[in-house]
Amino acid sequence: MNSSARRRLTAAVLTVVAVTTGATACSSGSGSTDAKGADAGTYTIWDPYPQFDKSSAWVKLLDGCGTKAGVKIKRTAFDTSDLTNKALLAAQQGNSADVLIVDNPVVSTLAEAGVLTSTEDNNLDVSTVNRNLLAAGVLSGKIYGTPIGANTLALYYNKAVLKEAGVDISSVKDWKSLTAALGKVEKAGKKGITFSAIGTEEGSFQFLPWFWGSGANLTALDSDQAVSALSLWKNWLDKGYAPNSVINNTQTTSWQEFASGDYAFAENGTWQLASAEKAGFDYGVLPIPTITGGNAAAPTGGEFVTIPVQDDTSRYATTQKLASCLTSTQNLYDTDTTLSYVAPTTEVQDKQVAANAKLKPWVDAVQAAKGRTSDDLGTKYPKISEQLWKAVQSALSGSASPKDALDSAQSAVK
């Protein structure tokens, strides 16, 4: 690693340490966070899935890929936010894991800090991965890793509530028709739509489909299109189509409101599918529409399999085998079923829909989705996102108009 890269890495470590808190790691090995294995025949994998223990299908997959590559796997799981911190510190100490599985917005942070090798460097084949999903791992024209799966946002709807209000879901095609449907629901004595507009990344995450669906771009938070998106949400609150609780709602509390059975719509993600099946009412899923119709680009969640820089370059050949194994067609299908993710390749997506037709709208949503750090935003995204959620909070609380809130946001970003 050259001196310039080391300076970037040191700066990144200081930044992350300042904003993250420690968490306890769960390990299938000794519990040590030392990334190096006991010998050359042991390879280390760090992931953000502490919910999976040694008996889980996920850990068995890791061990199986190790066996196939002729090595042993030492796996350590961290809380998502803590993983970034640990990865930066390990790289600074020359002690990186062999394989690192990280939340997709983190990829650009690690790549810019010089922690990761590119797919060009490590010969990882990403030719079959959907381009829109791969874009979250692109920085300055180079690709750093490959997605293991994706989740995103769509609109869940309560069929009984819509039927009682006389709304045909097929008529909901754009913002105007969605707002009209909410008006009918409110007139029928039911509740319209719930979502999360909390002043955190969750709030930005939930606002982005409407922001992008207006035609707005994250490099211009104060555009007319952006104002139209924030005005849409504000209008829903003013008319009583959405509750004031959205200002403080997380995605979890928003879901709890929808699960009460009183709401027509809820913006939420694939991770609520199991809860939806247990909700006790008939539901459907609709991709979020754009202002003029068609599917809006919703932000992608999910992780990337990446290969960190190693002083011992002889390890890369085996590491590439491990990464390729984890993202093979069959393993993607098995893993994404376990994680409730939509696969990153069309071949596996088709298999998922064939096995479960209810995944079709989610596949459609993922195919239209967009990485938050796409458009080569990279490490600029966190600052932009913070100003965006602050603008949403200001507008929905009534402390500023949508236009003034977004003007202030753009000024702060500059």
Going 58 to 106 to 104 to 114, the CA torsion angle's sign is negative
Going 267 to 272 to 273 to 279, the CA torsion angle's sign is negative
What single DSSP character describes residue 71?
S
Same domain, 144 and 261: no
Judge whether 287 lies within some domain.
Answer: yes
Number of folded domains that form the chain = 2
Q: Where are the alpha helices (DSSP H) in 95-192?
A: 106-112, 119-122, 131-134, 159-165, 175-187
> Contact, 197 vs 396, CB < 8 A?
yes
Same domain, 10 and 105: yes
Instruction: State which residues form the domain around 97.
Output: 3-150+301-367
pLDDT tens, 358-401?
999 999 999 999 999 988 888 899 999 999 999 999 999 999 99
For residues 18 and 290, which has the higher predicted lDDT (pLDDT)? 290
Judge whether 306 lies within some domain.
Answer: yes
Q: pTM of the predicted model, to two decimals?
A: 0.85
**Res 9: pLDDT:** 56
Same domain, 259 and 136: no
Same domain, 199 and 323: no
Same domain, 266 and 278: yes
Tokens 């010089």 belong to 114
Q: Quote the CA–CA distance of 383 and 178 in Å, as a whole number.
A: 31
CATH number for the domain harbouring residue 240: 3.40.190.10
Strands 138-139 and 26-27: unpaired
The CA-CA-CA angle for residues 365, 366, 368, to 5°, reads 70
Same domain, 51 and 112: yes
**Res 21: pLDDT:** 28
Work out the average pLDDT over 158-174.
98
Q: Quote the CA–CA distance of 261 and 239 in Å, as a whole number.
A: 20
Judge whether 396 lies within some domain.
Answer: yes
**Res 338: pLDDT:** 83
Same domain, 265 and 404: yes
Same domain, 31 and 88: yes
Percent of the chain at pLDDT > 70 equals 91
Judge whether 372 lies within some domain.
Answer: no
pLDDT tens, 276-310?
999 999 999 999 999 999 999 999 999 999 999 99
pLDDT tens, 248-272?
999 999 999 999 999 999 999 999 9
Judge whether 106 lies within some domain.
Answer: yes
Same domain, 405 and 338: no
Same domain, 355 and 385: no
Judge whether 225 lies within some domain.
Answer: yes
